[in-house]
Structure 1
Amino acid sequence: MDRAESITTAASTSEGSSHGPAISRLPVEVCERIIDYLAAGWDTGYVVAKGEPHLTALTSCALVCQDWYFLTWYHLRRRVHLRDRTDVLSLSKTLRAKPRLREVVHQVVISGASPGERQPIRHLGTFAVMLAGKAPRLRVIIIEHAEWTIGSVRMEDIGFLGVFSYIDTLNISEVTLSSVAQLSHLVSALPRLRNLWCSNVDCLQKQHVSPASLPLNCANMKCLDVRWVAPAVEDLFMQISRASRVRDLALGVDGELDPSSAASRSQTLLDASSTSAETVSAGFPSYLPSHVADCFMPTERHYNLSHHDQLWKLEISLYHPFAEWLWIPHILSRIVSKHFQAMVVMLWLRTDNMAEHLDGLLMTMEQDDVLARLDSILQEKRFSGTIASRGFCIGIGDFGDHWASGNTGMGSALRERYDQLDELVRRKMPRSHGRGILSTVHNTQDIYSWSQDMDEIHRQSMQVEQKKPPERMRTPGPRSSTQHVLTSLQPCILAHIVAWSS
């Protein structure tokens, strides 16, 4: 079919068919606009693609007919998955044949095996050498389900990644390293790297990292995410954090490690970023044994955020059976940052047991005093003028689906439980509810939207702060003292005005 002609939106009946009138056709320009609109909503900077609604819709469009496949082809090549050397050779050939595609590729996934397995990634070196200079807009590299064995990738080949000057994000997940020096060398090869994320990364090296092996560009890091990694990898992140001005820090506690050492290293990592971190995310896995959870309670030094003077948002993720739920008031009570505006506690459940686990959670919340303690802490003077509208959030999510967008298909019984949760949180936290700082969400899409709203409130409050004229020096006296007090309150008042108007 010629692209100038109309494209059918479904299988149409032929003209004159006795089965009914032909299904109407949309002009090609309309179809292109629809597909372009879907593609514009897909943020390739986000590394979790499975279930992402815009990508899912684009994939469905590609299956409608040959013409729609053509319209979506370039958009879908924004993310390229390379599983072996053959895939790398095929991509190189395609980029030579279609030079326009070179500007399209934004995200590359290099995997060694299917999920649950880890295989060598020899094609990482092949990719670095063969694709150097051929994907100038490549922004994100993801390495997953891999085993980086000694000698499988030549270090001189990794150096070719320096040609990809646009890359700012590196995500390593489900990977076994032979040495932490491999990770350090990989980071050093990416001159514009700002976001470094590692999750479930093992390392055969046991000794601590020498400061001399730190990446040369580690001072440029802005976002560090280290969740459930080997001690040597966490040690590298710790030293990178000390050498940089990290704004966003995320960490996870590994329950398989010795309780005291796991807690100590996590707190050390927090302390390393205390002078610069503006947002902190902490996750606790569902397999955390009870004896590990118990060890945190008596010791106040664990997860102490009292030195994080720039902190404005805190995110805590708990997984069933929520053994760490009792820690939350203690963590909040130690926050003293004057910039603190938002906090979310996400409670992650599995779809197959969601109703049962939600019942247990509701009973726990009803019987303990955690929500009441949180409500009391939030009324303290240091939080009276800083927390944003809807700034304290209790959320429920399905950690089997990163892009869950609602519960309409879960049945009335589950929706009734969500209503019970909302009522319980409001009843246990009446003063926070009365101030309008309390909110609840029931799926990951809503918590993503909540986080975006908080980011926008924070951005606007920072703009107000920056536009405020410098305070003039005045002779001390009753009049100037009063004016000084009013001036000092102005940022908090304006921040709330911005929040209410958003």
Structure 2
Amino acid sequence: MDRAESITTAVSTSEGSSHGPAIPRLPVEVCERIIDYVAAGWDTGYPIAKGEPHLTTLTSCALVCQDWYFLTWYHLRQRIHLRDRTDVLSLSKTLRAKPRLREVIQQVVISGASPGKRQAIPHLGTFAAMLAGKAPRLSRITIEDAEWTIGSVRMEDIGFLGVFSYIDTLNISKVTLSSVAQLSHLVSALPRLRKLWCFEVDCLQKQHVSPASLPLNCANLEHLDVRWVAPAVEDVFVHISRASRVRILELGVPNEVNASSAASRSQTMLDASSTSAELVQLHIALSSPVRDDAIDATVERHCNLSHHDHLRRLDIHLWYPFADWLWIPHILSRIVSKHFQAMAIVLYLLIDQMAEDLDGLLTTMEQDDVLVRLDYTLQEKRFSGTIASRGFCIGIHDEETLWMSGTELSGMGSAKRERYDRWDELVRRKMPHSHGRGILRYVVLWSWSNREGKLRVPRSTVHNFLEFISWIQDMEEIHRQSMQAEQKNTAGEDAHPLAKGPQGSTD
């Protein structure tokens, strides 16, 4: 890598002259270590990269000067975006010229040429065949904004993806398939796949094809995320879930539901993972509310978790205007797992009318009994000894400020802070038993300029995405500690099988 020996920065002073003395030269090694530190915090696996603070900082560093551009060059190529065959050929040429880059690439994004438009991706096959074995650390493939037309990608080329031995994550977003066989072949070509994320995937194939007749190799799959996909695609995922041991299931409930419908695809997906799923996320965005007297039957048919004996955490994501808010007590009341530790409710608002929507939400929550019913349900005997400290999390979020820190959000105006204060007071007042037990989540404000510094404030709700991630990390740590304690107890019992019985018997 080309590197300058030092980087010089000048500052101006307001006393006596417009140009002050130059700051002492900063060794390039110091700059490089700072940039390396920033890069270490970038999770290339998260599917939404726009606005991610570490990536944003790295991009800004690359624009400072030529020296800093070279210091960030390899870091920024952890994630490679290929929009056409020319990009693939260029990457192949670069890998020959800079062999070190082969060990750097972690994620490849393959999309149509125009952002936001679903266009053909014949270069998927070109990439698989041409670069097989040339990116040994590649662990994630994303296919987005694409139309996978018949004959555009040879199935034998897809088979080359198996050479990438580190690939454990596949993200498919806003893609139109010609047939479900394309998806099946893609999954089967990645035998080490552990996470499969599928969002807004359509399929032109209308006739029913039994998923059991398609190739499938997914024994290692643990995390399955399926939202807003075509029925034929969802059938394949049901088959995938039954053939693997899915521990984490994220599921989008259809916009239109009917309590009297003969079958529910969302419930079929839930049932397929019921013997293994530990974490379930339900993404519900109803276009119209269900009648009050039909809610319980609708939940029974579409979101019934009564057979999930290993469930330890449930996340429910709702979108404005929250037509499904009344569902939540019915969903919680069906949980019977003895391992259940935590529950989160995330409410998504539209940022351009956030104040009005938040006022409407506060009014609704004040008038209904949802929080009261949740509070009483959480005090039942089956939950009394299982819910973790701060294990009930309820928060407000808007997707356009995904990576905004709590400190930044708190500076968005006194009116917003007042509404948050009303929100906190309402939750505590409506859930006094849970608040008294300390199971309501206390906010952690994150500052990306000092990520390790956490400021705890006496609030019971979560106000942004970073705080929600922090809550998830806390719950995972609690689960890890409980598992360690259980293993120690088991080991102790095995080591002293007669600890509680007669000692010294010679029989």
TM-score by length of 2: 0.89
**Counterpart in 2 of 1:450?**
471
State the match for 1:422 in structure 2: 424
- Whether contact under 8 Å (2:3, 2:70) holds in the other structure is no
Do structure 1's residue 298 and structure 2's residue 297 form an aligned pair?
Answer: yes
Q: Give the AA of the match of 1:289.
A: S
Spell out, residue by residue over 1:126-151, the C-alpha distance to the aligned partner (whole angstroms, 9 max, x if none): 11111111100000000000000101
Distance (Å, rounded) in 1 between the aligned partners of 2:59 and 2:50: 11
> Which residue is equivalent to 2:458?
none
Contact 2:317 2:346 in 1 (8 A): yes
Q: Which one-letter code corresponds to 1:197 in the other structure?
A: W
User: SS at 2:205's partner residue?
Assistant: coil
Q: In the alignment, which residue of structure 2 is the partner of 1:123?
A: 123
Is the aligned partner of 1:326 residue 2:288? no
Worse overlay, 343-352 or 42-51: 42-51
Match of 2:462 in 1: 441
Aligned to 2:374: 374
Moved more, 193-202 or 398-407: 398-407
Q: In structure 1, what is the equivalent of residue 181 of structure 2?
A: 181
Take 2:208 and 2:71, find their aligned partners in 1: how far apart are those partners?
Answer: 51
Q: Which amino acid aligns with 2:203?
A: C
Q: CA deviation at 1:295?
A: 5.6
Q: Aligned-pair distance for 1:19?
A: 2.1
The change in CA–CA distance for 1:60 and 1:292 in structure 2 (over 3 A counts) is farther
What residue number does 1:349 align with? 349
- Residue 433 of structure 2 corresponds to which residue in structure 1? 431
Amino acid at match of 1:470: E
Deviation of the 1:244 alpha carbon: 0.9
Q: Deviations over 1:206-243 (max 9, x none)?
A: 23342433443222211110000000111100011111
SS at match of 1:298: helix
Q: Name the SS for the 2:315 alignment partner.
A: strand
2:486 to 446, 456, 465: 465
Q: What does 1:69-468 align with in structure 2 at a 5 Å threshold? A: 69-255=69-255, 264-285=264-285, 288-290=287-289, 296-299=295-298, 300-406=300-406, 407-439=409-441, 440-468=461-489
SS in 2 for 1:221: coil
Check 1:114–1:260 CA distance in 2 against 1; reply closer, same or farther (3 A cut): farther
CA distance in structure 2 between the partners assigned to 1:25 and 1:215 by the alignment: 61
Cα pair 1:250 1:280 within 8 Å, conserved: yes
TM-aligned CA deviation for residue 400 of structure 1: 2.6
- Tell me what 2:38 maps to: 38
Q: How far is 1:259 from its partner?
A: 7.2
Q: Is the 8 A contact 2:339 2:386 kept in 1?
A: yes
Q: Is the 8 A contact 2:112 2:119 kept in 1?
A: yes
8 A contact 1:10–1:64 mirrored in 2 = no
Q: Distance in 1 between matches of 2:41 and 2:222?
A: 24
Distance in 2, Cα, partners of 1:212 & 1:221: 17
Q: Which secondary structure does the structure 1 equivalent of 2:235 belong to?
A: helix
Distance 1:257 1:180 in 2: 24
Output the CA distance in 1 between the equivalents of 2:258 and 2:322: 20
Call closer, same or farther: CA 1:85–1:12 in 2, change over 3 Å: farther
Alignment of 1:18-37 (within 5 A): 19-37=19-37
Distance change in 2, residues 1:377/1:256 (3 Å): closer
Equivalent pair of 1:404/1:445 in contact (CA under 8 Å): yes
Return 5+ residue gaps in structure 1 as ranges.
480-502
Shift of 1:282: 0.5
Tell me the distance in 1 between the aligned counterparts of 2:338 and 2:330.
Answer: 18
Contact 1:119 1:145 in 2 (8 A): yes
Amino acid at match of 1:272: A
Question: What is the rounded CA distance, in whole Å, between the counterparts of 1:42 and 1:200 in structure 2?
Answer: 26
Output the amino acid matched with 1:76. Answer: L
In structure 2, relative to structure 1, the CA distance for the partners of 1:36 and 1:266 (3 Å cut) is: same
The Cα of 1:314 is off from its aligned counterpart by 0.5
Letter in 1 for 2:422: Q
For residues 71-125 of structure 1, the C-alpha deviation after alignment (integer angstroms, 9 at most, x for no partner) is 0000000000001111111111100100000000000000114443110101101
Cα offset, 1:28, TM superposition: 1.4
Give the distance between the partners of 2:493 and 2:500, measured in 1 at CA: 17
Distance 1:263 1:394 in 2: 31
Tell me the TM-score normalised to structure 1 length. 0.89
Deviates more, 1:26-35 or 1:123-132: 26-35
How many angstroms apart in 1 are the aligned matches of 2:2 and 2:239?
59
Which amino acid in 1 is paired with 2:477? Answer: E
Q: Equivalents in 2 of 1:83, 1:254: separation in Å?
A: 31
Cα deviation for residue 272 of structure 1 reads: 0.6
| Stretch of structure 1 that moved more, 457-466 or 92-101 | 457-466
1:230-278, CA deviations, whole angstroms, 9 ceiling, x for partnerless residues? 0011110001111111000011023257776697110111011001000
- Separation in structure 2 between the aligned mates of residue 292 and residue 101 of structure 1, nearest angstrom: 58
**Cα distance in 1 for residues equivalent to 2:391 and 2:164:** 39
Partners of 1:212 and 1:428 in 2: CA distance? 49
CA contact (8 A) 2:12 2:18 kept: no
Alpha-carbon distance in structure 2 between the residues aligned to 1:209 and 1:437: 47
Letter in 2 for 1:433: H
From the superposition, tell whether residues 209 and 240 of structure 1 become closer, same or farther in structure 2 (CA, over 3 Å). farther
Figure out how many residues of one structure are paired with residues of the other and give that number: 475
Q: Distance in 1 between matches of 2:500 and 2:477?
A: 38
Q: Distance in 2 between matches of 1:217 and 1:245?
A: 13
User: Which amino acid in structure 2 is aligned with residue 174 of structure 1?
Assistant: K
SS across alignment from 1:198: strand
**Is the partner of 1:238 in helix, strand or coil?**
helix
Deviations, residues 396-435 of structure 1 (Å, cap 9, x unaligned): 1112343232313421101111111111101100110011
Shift of 1:52: 1.0
Q: What's the RMSD between the two structures over aligned residues? A: 2.5
Q: Relative to structure 1, is the Cα distance of residues 24 and 188 closer, same or farther in structure 2, using a 3 angstrom cutoff?
A: same
CA contact (8 A) 1:349 1:398 kept: yes
Q: Which moved more, 1:2-11 or 1:207-216?
A: 2-11
Distance 2:376 2:266 in 1: 28
Classify the secondary structure of the residue corresponding to 2:280.
strand
Cα separation, partners in 2 of 1:356 and 1:320, compared to 1, 3 Å: same
